[in-house]
């Protein structure tokens, strides 16, 4: 298996303040912004309120801007 392309099933995860809880075993989650697979061992960015995972800081920031722009309308 290629480290950058985790095969196997998608995990179901609950995102907490400082930790994640794996509800269903799997090898990856999907980025809510890009749709890319994120191997669980590389998951560093998520939103507790939206229960979403992000590939990196750029995706997390983009989603934050989107959510806050909608709030200001």
Q: Distance (Å, rounded) from C-alpha 52 to C-alpha 50?
A: 5
- Cα separation, 11 vs 70, whole angstroms: 29
* Tens place of pLDDT per residue across the chain (73 aa): 455 556 689 999 999 999 999 999 999 999 999 999 999 999 999 999 999 999 999 999 999 999 998 777 6
Distance of alpha carbon 70 from the chain centroid: 20
Q: Which tokens go with 54?
A: 């992000």
| Burial (Cβ within 10 Å: 0-12, 13-18, ≥19) of residue 48 | exposed
**Residue 6 confidence (pLDDT):** 61
Residue 4's pLDDT is: 55
Joined together, the tokens standing for residue 70 give: 């909608």
Residue 20 DSSP class: E
């Amino acid at each position: 298996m290629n480290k950058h392309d985790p095969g196997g099933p998608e995990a179901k995860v609950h995102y907490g303040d400082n930790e994640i809880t794996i509800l269903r075993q799997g090898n990856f989650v999907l980025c809510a912004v890009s749709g890319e697979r994120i191997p669980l061992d590389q998951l560093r960015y998520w939103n507790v309120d939206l229960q979403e995972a992000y590939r990196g800081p750029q995706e997390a920031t983009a989603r934050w801007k989107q959510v806050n722009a909608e709030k200001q309308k």
